[in-house]
Every structure is written in C-alpha cells, then in structure tokens.
C-alpha cells in the first residue's frame, strides 16, 4: 500500500514548500522576463495564471496533507465540471462525477486503506446513473464517458499521496510545458502527433530537459519522477488533445484568461502524477 511518507523515498529537503520558495520565485521572475521579451499575449497571460496559481499551491502544500487534499478537491471539482461540459454529459452524470472525484482525495487523506474500494464505488456510481435512468439510446456512451472521467481525474489523489514532492513535480511540469511551447515554435521539426500537429518533437525534448533540470534543482530528482515528468507531461497533453478533438472543441473551457480552462493547464500534470504513483 502506498503511503505519503513512503512514495518517494529519496526526495531531499529542498522539496519542502518553504525551502523551495526562493527557487520558485526565481523561476517566476526569469519566466516573466522571458514571456515579456517574447511579446506574445498567450505566454504573458499564461505566466499571469501561474503567478497566481503557484502561491496558492505552495500555501496548500505548506498546510500539510489536509491542505493538499483541499487543493486536489478544488482542482477535481473544477476539472470534472469542465470535462462534463466538454463531452456533453447530462446534468445527473456531471453531478455524480463531481461528487466522486471530490471524494477520492479526501479518502486518500483520511482513510487510505479504503481508497481501492472508493475507486470501485466511484466507477459504479457513474455507471449506475444512465443504467437506473433506463437510457436505451445513449446509456453506453454516458457510462463510458463517466468511467473515463473518473480514471482521468483519479491521479489527483497523488497530490495527497506523494506528499511535499508534489510541489517539485508541479514546478517541473509547468516550466517544462512553457519550454516545450517556446522550443517547438523556435526550432520546428517533425510534429509530435497527429492529435496535436502544432506540437513538435523538438519542443517535447526541450520540455523534458527543462523539467528534469527543475527536479534536480529542487532536490527531487529520482528515476521514477524523472520518467514520470519526461513521459507523462507530453502524453498528458496529447491525451487532452484527443478528448478535445473528439468533442470538437479547442479548449476545455473559456474562463481562464489566455489558458482556456483549468483542465487545459493540468492535463500534463494528471498523467505525470499517474506515472509517479505507478512507478513509485
């Protein structure tokens, strides 16, 4: 059974939110200068979003497991609502999905041994909504989308289970994502995938290098975390691109200035957390 203390055994003390603050502040300053010089409105708005989000994440993790669970719950609720709107889930399906996604981090915090049962209950809950409603036409689609939503957002429990090292993972994925976008536009080269033709292999490689550098700087470089960041970040981005293409949408939502929705900003982190939990 994974426990918060045993998940990442070799993370150094710099991973602690308080100790990491100077490094994160420096990264924000350097990033701010870079996006200002780029004069691209998209990058400037993204930097503004991270400038607000990073202190919130640091404060939540500094508060301990309860704060981490609160962060995961808020992120899960917002992402579940965006996902439900993106794929066109009915209101009852969306409500149940939000409830179970919000419950899982709380179970991971307060009753970790019951997390597998809670996951099974979550899958059953989203499946029973169309089943009990007797939906003969779209029941299979609704159930499938509900189960996918639970699985996609389940890695948010990693915010609780991984402990303070989550901050290093969050920073690594964030700066790697920005580096990938910059490098892909600057260097060009072959497309990463038909799912997202604008993304380039050059950007993915640059993002991985910068992300791993951030892990090392924060004293959190381990082989499992390195693999999770290098592979999970680009694959998570492509996974959301696949979902959005299937839904015929450009963004998961439109409320986050210059960034679409929260799901658009956390797509890389979700799969990174999943791999971190799997490999730990």
| pLDDT per position as a tens digit, 19-57 | 666 767 776 777 777 777 777 777 777 777 777 777 888
pTM of the complete model: 0.88
pLDDT score recorded for residue 111? 97
Q: How many domains does the chain have?
A: 1
Query: Cα–Cα distance between 211 and 236 in angstroms, integer?
Result: 14
Question: Is 74 a domain residue?
Answer: yes
- Per the CB < 8 A criterion, the answer to whether 252 and 261 are in contact is yes
Domain that holds residue 252: 13-279
Lowest mean pLDDT among 61-65, 99-103, 230-234, 256-260: 256-260
DSSP state letter for 154:
G
Question: Is 2 a domain residue?
Answer: no
| pLDDT per position as a tens digit, 92-135 | 999 999 999 999 999 999 999 999 999 999 999 999 999 999 99
Strands (E) in the chain, as ranges, are 191-193, 196-200
Q: How many helices (H) and strands (E) does the chain have?
A: 11, 2
Question: Is 73 a domain residue?
Answer: yes
User: What is the band of 3 on the pLDDT scale with cuts at 50, 70, 90?
Assistant: very low
Question: Is 155 a domain residue?
Answer: yes
Question: Is 230 a domain residue?
Answer: yes
- Nearest residue to 79 (alpha-carbon basis) of 258, 276, 270, 275: 270
Question: Is 4 a domain residue?
Answer: no
In the chain, the percentage of residues whose pLDDT exceeds 70 is: 91
pLDDT score recorded for residue 125? 98
Question: Is 42 a domain residue?
Answer: yes
Question: Is 203 a domain residue?
Answer: yes
User: What is the band of 4 on the pLDDT scale with cuts at 50, 70, 90?
Assistant: very low
- Per the CB < 8 A criterion, the answer to whether 232 and 268 are in contact is yes
């Amino acid at each position: 059974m994974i426990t918060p203390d045993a998940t990442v055994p070799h993370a150094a003390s710099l991973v602690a939110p308080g100790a990491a603050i100077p490094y994160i502040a420096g990264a924000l300053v350097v990033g701010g200068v870079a996006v200002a010089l780029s004069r691209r409105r998209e990058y400037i708005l993204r930097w503004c979003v991270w400038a607000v989000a990073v202190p919130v994440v640091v404060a939540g993790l500094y508060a301990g497991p309860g704060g981490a669970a609160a962060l995961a719950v808020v992120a899960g609720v917002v992402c579940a609502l965006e996902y439900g709107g993106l794929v066109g889930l009915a209101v009852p399906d969306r409500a149940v999905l939000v409830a179970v996604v919000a419950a899982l981090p709380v179970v991971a915090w307060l009753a970790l041994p019951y997390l597998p049962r809670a996951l099974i209950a979550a899958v059953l809950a989203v499946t029973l909504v169309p089943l009990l409603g007797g939906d003969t036409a779209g029941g299979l689609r609704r159930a499938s989308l509900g189960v996918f939503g639970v699985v996609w957002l389940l890695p948010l429990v990693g915010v609780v289970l991984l402990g303070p090292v989550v901050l290093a993972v969050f920073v690594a994925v964030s700066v790697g994502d920005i580096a990938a976008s910059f490098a892909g536009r600057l260097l060009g080269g072959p497309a990463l995938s038909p799912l997202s033709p604008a993304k380039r292999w050059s950007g993915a490689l640059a993002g991985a290098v910068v992300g791993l550098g951030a892990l090392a700087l924060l004293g959190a470089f381990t082989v499992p975390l390195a693999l999770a960041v290098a592979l999970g970040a680009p694959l998570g981005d492509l996974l959301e691109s696949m979902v959005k293409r299937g839904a015929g949408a450009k963004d998961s939502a439109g409320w986050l200035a210059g960034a679409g929705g929260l799901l658009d900003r956390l797509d890389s982190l979700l799969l990174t957390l999943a791999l971190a939990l799997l490999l730990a």
